[in-house]
Amino acid sequence: MSFNLNGQSHDIPPDWADEPLLFLLREHFALTGAKFGCGVGICGACTIIIDGLPARACITRAGDVDGLSVRTIEGLAERDALHPVQQAWLDFGVPQCGYCQAGQIMAAVALLVQVPDLSDDDIDVAMDGNLCRCGTYPRIRAAIMSAAERV
Amino acid sequence: MRRRTFLAAAAGGLVALIGAGVGVWSQVPVIPKRPNPDAETALGWIAHRDERFTLSLPRAEMGQNIATALKQIACTELGAEWNTVDVVLHATDMPRVKATVGSESVMLFAEPLAQACAALRDALAAGQVAGQVRVTPRPMAALRALRAGGLIGASPEITQGRGIVTGAPLYAADMRLPGMLFGRVLRAPASVEVPSGPLRWNLDAARAIPGFVAVIEDCGPPIGQAQGLGVVAARPGALDAIAEALGVHWSIAGPHPRSDIARVIDVDARLSTGTLPHAVLDGAPDDGPWDVDLRVDVPMAAHGPIEPRAALASWQDSALRVWAGAQDAFYVRDFLADAFGLSGEAVSVQSCRIGGAFGGKTICTVEAEAAALTLATGSPVKVQWTRAQEYALGFHRPPSSHRIRARVAQGRITDWDHAQMSSHILFTAAVVPSWMQRGTDIFAGDGGVARGMVAPYVLGRARAAYDMVRLPVHAGPWRGLGAGPNALAIESAIDEAARVAGVDPLAFRLAHVADPLLTAVLERVGEIAAWGRPLASVEGLRLGRGVGCGTYKVTSHAAAVADVSVDSRGRVRVTRLWCVHDCGLVINPDQVRAQCEGNLIWSLGMVLTDDLPTAAGHVTAQSFADAPIPRMTDVPAIIVDLIQSDRPPQGAGETAIVAGPGAIANAIRAATGQRLVRFPVRTEDLAT
Ligand code: FES
Ligand code: FES
């Protein structure tokens, strides 16, 4: 079993195949950007992109990404050049505690690919499943709008 | 070390059953020490080496972005370039700093840090390159960092911001060590206030789960009175399956005598048995009928940080090392030393960025679980609570029940009476055993329950008093402590009083406010929200606008205006929020704004969503589905205006929560004619 992780091919060790993808990424590959928030697909802290679509790594079986392409937040920036969404997040001072933000950013990246010409409603609908207890939602909206002009 | 056996976990899955001394935990709690910082101590926070400065952040970083604000202070006072100062989160090897609570981080730490940086700057200028520096405190006016200008009042890119947006490991659960295992401590599905513990379990079934490493009986101190059963696995995902396979049978000495929480918190039932013991206003209102007489009930609520608490522990060379996301790393250190019979030097705790705390990560829980499992297995162990454990084992905003009354004559409140039943907040049952609470009840009351109960108005003959009851579910500090619920009750009653008086609610407040700084934020929010301008009407919706205001911890002030719409099915949307905030000199306006935005969204949650379901004396919520928090679609555009002030900096992390909930509830009243008295709002209360 193997998959493409941020542009590189990797094996999925057999004893990790039944683990949630989130733990394979965090504990086997040391990509700890995606977070554990609920483990049942409700909060979005573990959002990653699988074959272009946002997905919840906590309820995706690791073995099920065999042959697929997984993008995590660690794979967004090109060396020192941040992805426009990451840059917008800094420009708008989005993160408070930051724990939800990897998931928010990945959901936003996927949204911008799917719906380049965004309305506020598109953002609300696409992002409603990504919870933020600190209350950064207004800034997330503003940052996505601004990133939409840059991508 | 006392009562401890070490067993290395073998690859095949060795079962460690270490039983000696289970259950003999100290009955005297470790009480947090809370020294205020001074300039001499502050020297330990800042160092200079090879042309660079290191700021060891004396606060927990949990999203208030205090690392950025204190770096602004340090750079300004040192005269140092932004990129020559490295910020590191503190470990317990530096002198003790108090817990990061109470919105104190700029208020209490800015000046000592500035003093230390000024002394270091002078020493460097005098050619000193090594050794200790002495601080001779200088007058405030001589400090560069405590007046506006340059970096003070600017909003540079937040410290760790780049790490956050690139997914760098910043949080306790992101930490990793070679040979690390994953642990969980299972506890009975029961009130944490009744003794419980594991009776028997199916070890063979657990062993059959791939990744199983050990079951550990001696798994650290109880949480409340809930003794656990530890499990350790090679991979985190195996823990769920192991827990299920074990099928633990629990002994539970229940039920708890006060399992019916709503009944024991009922303020009217309590008042029928006599007056409340803890007075915060001791005027004597006249008897007789009241013009306003509200019973307001605010339920228990979880903090709901997106990060369930986590810790990584390792035991090496007779030293226990713990990585934690806690609001008081020193308390965690002291607790661990006490719990495991170690000297303070043998334990060190490294602070990690916290993924949201809000008062809920002030004690030691998951850290002790990780430590116990590490000590039992000899391997580093990481533990992160499940979401259900956060609800079941954490402490929460206590439910509170308010009877609040006012009498009005000639446009003024002449008499006021506010009675509150709640549960302990500062003397939380999560730390303070009931025998000790009986003492604090008599001698100290609970300043957390009392917080915000003194209304910021001139109210004539005013009485306010409260009582607490220890509950089967632990209550404790939650953003703003008692201030949010108290202000919600007070601002609701003030609004009703304005209606009785026939006076505009904003004008009515202005007529009763005593502090000119509060007057200023009220007037300003009226301006920016164009208060008094008629609302446009929308077919099929009831629209309303409300105002609320308040003072937090005497010196910080906020006022808010909310617009809401309510449809025929009783569904509420907050459509716009305005807030004006005065916390004295603002070091970082963008982050103060962020705190206001967060507090306003918490305000929205207080009115529309926050509720932690319990049954038979324990929490039944398992996930965010059972204890919802505001989502993006709930949140309107928010306009925040900060008062420019040269008062010394005051707290900003909790202030707006005294203004927002009242504004929203009052807007719903204006839209529907319904005064909300039980929260969160239920659609059936507002359906037509
Ligand atoms: S952790 Fe995956 S959705 Fe919450
Ligand atoms: S920034 Fe803290 S949860 Fe979103």
B193 Cβ contact partners less than 8 Å away, ≥ 6 residues apart: B224, B225, B256, B429, B470, B471, B472, B473, B474, B617
Please name the residue of chain A whose CA is at the shortest distance from the CA of residue B638. Answer: A138
Burial readout B369-408 (b: 16 or more C-beta within 10 A, e: otherwise): bbbbbbbbbbbbbbbbbbbbbbbbbbbbbbbbbbbbbbbb
Place of tokens 């460690």: B16
CATH class of A84-150: mainly alpha
Indicate whether residue A129 lines ligand 1 (CB < 6 A). Answer: no
Please report the pLDDT score of residue B572 as a whole number: 98
Task: Compute the C-alpha angle B110/B601/A148, nearest 5°.
Answer: 95
What percent of chain B stands above pLDDT 70? 96
Residue in the block written with tokens 């939650």: B478
Shortest distance between the Cα of B422 and any Cα of chain A, in A, equals 24
Q: What is the spatial distance between Cα B519 and Cα B513, in angstroms, rounded to a whole number? A: 6
Q: Which residue has the higher pLDDT, B651 or B8?
A: B651
Which of B188-202, B221-235, B432-446, B556-570 bottoms out in mean pLDDT, i.e. has the lowest? B432-446
Q: Which amino acid is at B219?
A: C
Q: What is the DSSP letter of A29?
A: S
CB-nearest partner of B632 from A20, A42, A124: A124
Question: What is the distance in angstroms between the Cα of B157 and the nearest Cα belonging to chain A?
Answer: 6
Q: B422 pairs with which residues across the strands?
A: B468
Q: What is the DSSP letter of B91?
A: B
d(CA B209, CA B438): 47
Q: How far is Cα A116 from Cα A139, in angstroms, rounded to an integer? A: 19
DSSP SS3 for B32: coil
Query: What's the token pair of residue B383?
Result: 């533990």
Q: For residue B464, what is the enclosing H or E element?
A: strand B461-468
Whether residue B386 lies within 8 A of chain A, CB to CB, comes out as yes
The pLDDT, as a whole number, for residue B530 is 98
Please provide the CATH number assigned to the domain covering B39-166. 3.30.365.10
The ligand 1 atom at the shortest distance from the C-alpha of residue A37 is: 1
Sequence spans of domains, chain B:
1-29, 39-166, 172-254+309-384, 261-301+396-686
Q: How far is CA B63 from CA A100, B100, B484, in A?
A: 11, 12, 20
Q: Nearest ligand to the C-alpha of residue A107?
A: 1
Among A38, A42, A96, select the one facing B594 at the smallest CB separation.
A96
User: DSSP string spanning A67-125?
Assistant: T-EEE-GGGTSBTTB--HHHHHHHHTT--SS-TTHHHHHHHHHHHHHH-SS--HHHHHH
The helix-helix angle for B329-339 and B366-377 (nearest 10°) equals 40
CB contact under 8 A, B166 and A86: yes
Q: Which ligand is nearest to the CA of B629?
A: 2
Strand order in the sheet with B381-384: B212-216, B229-233, B181-186, B381-384, B310-316, B319-324, B347-351
Q: Which atom belonging to ligand 1 lies closest to the Cα atom of A131?
A: 4
Q: For the segment B322-355, what is each residue's pLDDT rounded down to a tens digit?
A: 999 999 999 999 999 999 999 999 999 999 999 9
The answer to whether the CB of B252 falls within 8 A of the CB of B194 is: yes
Those residues whose C-beta lies under 8 Å from the C-beta of residue B281, and which sit 6 or more positions away, are B416, B418, B453, B454, B459, B462, B463, B464, B465
pLDDT tens sequence across B266-275? 999 999 999 9
A38 lines ligand 1 (CB under 6 A): yes
B642-659 in b/e form (b: 16+ CB < 10 A) is bbebeeebbbbbbbbbbb
Q: What is the pLDDT of residue B295?
A: 98
Q: Which of A18, A97, A105 sits opposite B356 (nearest CB)?
A: A97
Structure tokens at B441: 């009840």
Find, among B545, B232, B556, B189, the residue nearest to B369 by Cα.
B232
User: What fold characterizes domain A2-72?
Assistant: Ubiquitin-like (UB roll) (3.10.20)
Ligand 2 center from residue B483 Cα (angstroms):
23
**Angstrom distance (rounded) from CA B558 to CA B592:** 12
Q: Is the pLDDT of residue B12 over 70?
A: no
Q: For residue B62, what is the nearest residue in chain A, using CA coordinates? A: A97
Does residue B513 sit in helix, strand or coil? strand
Of 3.30.420.10, 1.20.120.1200, 1.10.1370.40, 3.30.365.10, the CATH number of B261-301+396-686 is 3.30.365.10
- Cβ contact (<8 Å) for B602 and A135? yes
A29 → chain B, closest CA residue: B176
Structure tokens at A145: 């709008």
Residues of B in contact with A102 (CB under 8 A): 164, 167
Mean pLDDT of B355-378: 97
H or E element that contains B519: helix B516-528
Residues 349-368, chain B, touching A (beta carbon < 8 A): 353-358
Any bridge partners for residue B226, and if so which? B196, B223
Contact A15 B166 (CB under 8 A): no
Average pLDDT score over residue span B171-200: 98
What residues of chain A, 52 to 91, have a C-beta less than 8 Å from chain B?
Answer: 72-74, 76-77, 82, 86, 89-90
Of B166, B176, B387, the CB nearest to A74: B166
Q: Is the peptide bond before B255 cis (omega within 30 degrees of 0)?
A: yes
Does A2-72 match A84-150 in CATH topology? no
Question: Which chain B positions have a beta carbon within 8 Å of A123's beta carbon?
Answer: 632
Amino acid (one-letter) located at B566: V
Residue B55: CB partners within 8 Å, gap ≥ 6? B45, B46, B70, B71, B74, B85, B86, B87, B88
The residue type found at B369 is: E
For ligand 2, atom 4: residue with the closest CA: A132
Q: What is the mean pLDDT of chain B?
A: 94
For the CA atoms of B661, B662, B663, B669, the dihedral, rounded to the nearest 10 degrees, stands at 110
CB B656 within 8 A of CB B560: yes
- By CB atoms closer than 10 A (0-12, 13-18, 19+), residue B611 is buried
Write the burial class of residue A117 (CB in 10 Å: 0-12 exposed, 13-18 middle, 19+ buried).
exposed
Q: Inform me whether the C-beta atom of residue B160 falls under 8 Å from chain A C-beta atoms.
A: yes
Q: Which of B356, B625, B635 sits opposite A137 (nearest CB)?
A: B635
What is the residue extent of each domain of chain A?
2-72, 84-150
Q: What is the pLDDT of residue B8?
A: 33
Say yes or no: B166 contacts chain A, CB-CB below 8 A: yes
Q: Does B380 touch chain A (CB under 8 A)?
A: no
**Ligand 1: nearest atom to the Cα of A41:** 3
Q: Is the CB of A99 under 6 A from ligand 2?
A: yes
CB contact under 8 Å between B598 and A127, yes or no, is: no
Length of chain B in residues, anyone? Answer: 688
Q: At what angle do helices B589-608 and B483-501 cross, to 10 degrees?
A: 70
* Confidence band, pLDDT 50/70/90 cuts, at residue B30: confident
Q: Whose Cα sits closest to atom 3 in ligand 1?
A: A41
3-state secondary structure of B85: strand
**Is the CB of A133 less than 8 angstroms away from the CB of B356?**
yes
Give A96 Cα–ligand 2 centroid separation in angstroms: 6
Q: Is A102 in the pocket of ligand 1 (CB under 6 A)?
A: no
B73 by DSSP, 3-state: which? helix
Q: Helix B589-608 crosses helix A137-150 at what angle (to 10 degrees)?
A: 120
Q: Pick the atom of ligand 2 nearest to A98's CA.
A: 1
Instruction: Give the integer Cα–Cα distance in Å for B624 and B626.
Output: 5
Question: Is the Cβ atom of A103 under 6 angstroms away from ligand 1?
Answer: no
CA distances from B467 to B455, B488, B617 (A): 18, 18, 20
pLDDT > 90: what percent of chain B? 91
Lowest mean pLDDT among A24-28, B30-34, B88-92, B329-333: B30-34
Q: Reply yes or no on whether the pLDDT at B252 is more than 50.
A: yes
H helices present in B17-142, as ranges: 39-42, 66-78, 105-125
Identify the pLDDT of residue B254.
81
Provide the 3-class DSSP secondary structure of residue A54.
strand
For B594, which of A27, A37, A93 is closest by C-beta distance? A93
Give me the pLDDT at residue B4, please.
36
Q: pLDDT class for B7, splitting at 50, 70, 90?
A: very low
Contacts of B260 (CB under 8 A, 6+ apart): none
Which has the closest alpha carbon to B599: B573, B621, B575, B580? B580
In this model, does residue B5 exceed pLDDT 70?
no
Distance from CA of A40 to the nearest CA of B (A): 8
Best A133, A136, A139 residue to mutate vs chain B (most B CBs within 10 Å): A133
Give the gap in angstroms from C-alpha B169 to the nearest C-alpha of chain A. Answer: 6
Calculate Rg over the CA atoms of chain A.
Answer: 15
Residue type, B651: G
Domain boundaries B172-254+309-384, corresponding CATH code:
3.30.365.10
Q: What is the pLDDT of residues B647-672, one digit of tens each?
A: 999 999 999 999 999 999 999 999 99
Query: DSSP assignment of B559-607, as one string?
Result: EEEEEEEEETT--EEEEEEEEEEE-SS-S-HHHHHHHHHHHHHHHHHHH
Q: How far apart are CA B628 and CA B360, in angstroms?
A: 17
Full pLDDT tens readout for chain A, 151 residues: 999 999 999 999 999 999 999 999 999 999 999 999 999 999 999 999 999 999 999 999 999 999 999 999 999 999 889 999 999 999 999 999 999 999 999 999 999 999 988 999 999 999 999 999 999 999 999 999 999 998 7
The DSSP 8-state label assigned to residue B618 in this structure reads: E
* Atom 3 of ligand 2, residue of closest alpha carbon: A132
Please, which residues bridge with residue B348 across strands? B321
How many other C-beta atoms are found inside a 10 Å radius of the C-beta of residue A30? Answer: 11
Domains B172-254+309-384 and B261-301+396-686 share a fold: yes
Q: What is the pLDDT of residues B469-494, one digit of tens each?
A: 999 999 999 999 999 999 999 999 99
For residue B203, how many other CB atoms are within 10 A of its CB?
A: 14
Residue A60 corresponds to which amino acid?
A: T
**Closest residue of chain A to B576, computed from CA coordinates:** A138
